[in-house]
Amino acid sequence: MRHPCLNFCWPDCNAESRDTPRSSSGRTYSRWQALHRETDLTHTPRHGRHRALRAFGERSAERVPIPIACYLVKTTDGTVLFDTGVSPRAVPGLLRNDSMARFEDADLLVHRLDSIGLEPADVDLVVLSHLHFDHAGGAELFPTSELVVQKDEYATALYPPPFFEGFYYRKNFDLPSYRWRHLDGDAELAPGVTVLRTDGHTPGHQSLLLELPETGPVILAGDSCYWQEHIDAERVPGIVWNPAAAFQSIRRLKTLARLVGGRIFPGHDPVFWKAVTPAPGFYR
């Protein structure tokens, strides 16, 4: 069985999303080395977000830095990118309107790819945890890749409820000439790479399970869990479409992690990300 490997990297910036790892996979060690170089493209911008968003129903004026990132998964079946960060078009406004924002030109996903000798055309699958602007902003960079999203998420993003209108930027995903794969639940994309439907944050949120041969199973939670405390205390994140569904998704990921002996990587926790191995290190 072919297993993926996982790498992490981030930039020196701030933005309104979460910092996420990347992953790569291959049967041979040489392919794995190529992967962990690829992880460098997960340079992550960050911006400030109110601490109130840490848990559903909280109110606080405190602002905390929140990293944004993408994950690269390399398998012998192809190259998979999990999330695409913010759109290059959004960066000027982000820097202008958020005093905590940090973003450099090198942080753009296309430049991170170029720095390791890759182009968007080298990515076979782009898996979007959901279509909020800080995850789907770079989807337009991949016209030759297959874009993978839950069908309910895509339908909601096209016609969002008022509460979510500010999170969905239609230009990011209304790409009719692109190749889309609309899922309806869990799906194995490649050996050791499985999409897990985790509704709650949005109507069609999805996480990613990676079966690493040495590290063991890793679950990339996406926005189903911003912080470690959401996992430990089973607290629903602050921005949710359905709190009950969000709670059940957290419970589902925790149960799965316990059954397979895996770890859950939260999406937003700046403290958590300081403890993981950054690129050029990797998780195999």
Domain that holds residue 36: 4-184+270-283
In a domain, 99, yes or no: yes
Residue 129 sits at φ, ψ, to 5 deg, of: -60, -40
CA 112 to CA 45: how far, in whole Å? 12
In a domain, 221, yes or no: no
The one-letter amino acid code at 21 reads: P
The one-letter amino acid code at 226 reads: Y
In a domain, 204, yes or no: no
Our count of domains for the chain comes to 1
Residue 184 neighbours by CB under 8 Å, 6+ apart: 150, 151, 152
Output the pLDDT for position 238.
Answer: 84
- In sequence order, what are the beta bridge partners of 64? 49
Name the helix (H) or strand (E) containing 115: helix 109-115
Phi-psi region of 108 (alpha: psi -120 to 50; beta: other; left: phi over 0): beta
In a domain, 201, yes or no: no
Output the pLDDT for position 50.
Answer: 39
Output the pLDDT for position 217.
Answer: 96
Residue 143 neighbours by CB under 8 Å, 6+ apart: 120, 175, 177, 178
Any idea what the CATH number is for the domain that residue 48 is in?
3.60.15.10
Predicted structure pTM score: 0.81
In a domain, 196, yes or no: no
Question: What are the tokens at 212?
Answer: 């690493």
Q: How far is CA 136 from CA 60, 62, 140, 168, 189, in A?
A: 28, 27, 8, 9, 19
Output the pLDDT for position 281.
Answer: 59
In a domain, 244, yes or no: no
Output the pLDDT for position 40.
Answer: 28
In a domain, 130, yes or no: yes
Block mean pLDDT (10 aa), the chain, length 284:
55 36 32 27 41 48 74 87 87 70 77 82 97 95 98 98 93 97 98 97 97 91 93 92 97 98 90 74 72
Output the pLDDT for position 258.
Answer: 98
Output the pLDDT for position 102.
Answer: 75
Beta strands in the chain (DSSP E): 4-7, 22-25, 48-50, 63-65, 71-75, 78-82, 125-127, 146-150, 179-183, 187-190, 193-197, 206-212, 216-220, 263-265, 282-283
Question: What are the tokens at 264?
Answer: 């859950």
In a domain, 200, yes or no: no
Q: Which residue has the tokens 């399970």?
A: 209
